[in-house]
Amino acid sequence: MILVIDDNAQERALIRKMLEGDGHEVREAASGDEGLDLAQALRPELIICDLMMPQKDGFETVRDLHARVPGARIVAVSGVLFGTADHATMVERLGLVAVIEKPFRQMQLLDVVCGALGRS
């Protein structure tokens, strides 16, 4: 099961559609706090978290996910990234599996998800 944390309902729906079309079970959270609660309760295989959210942003959410759900595999998505070097730094500093820049295509998302889950 994959948990998608994003404040934008349209973005969540799009990611859900892309993932379910590939056979993944998906749950959604509309905020960082809701995502933390669901992640603790459900222990998803993978968490996809938007970095730019109001109130508790994705950076704080990712940090809290690592603290409250040890071993969580997290992919961050954001429309505000600035290049490959920043991606690598962000992945390392935040303990992410990967970062995907919005907008992305279904195949990009599925490639990252399959890699994160150790599937081909």
Confidence band for 120, pLDDT divided at 50, 70 and 90: low
The string of pLDDT tens digits covering residues 5-27 is 999 999 999 999 999 999 999 99
Residue whose entry in the numeric block shows the structure tokens 């997290």: 74
The string of pLDDT tens digits covering residues 35-63 is 999 999 999 999 999 998 998 888 899 99
Task: Name the CA radius of gyration of the chain, rounded.
Answer: 13
- The enclosing domain of 82 has a CATH number of 3.40.50.2300
First CA to last CA distance, the chain: 17
- What is the domain extent for residue 83? 2-116
What type of residue sits at position 96? L
The string of pLDDT tens digits covering residues 62-98 is 999 999 999 999 999 987 755 555 656 777 888 899 9
Per-residue model confidence (pLDDT) at position 86: 62
pTM: 0.91
Q: What is the number of domains present in the chain?
A: 1
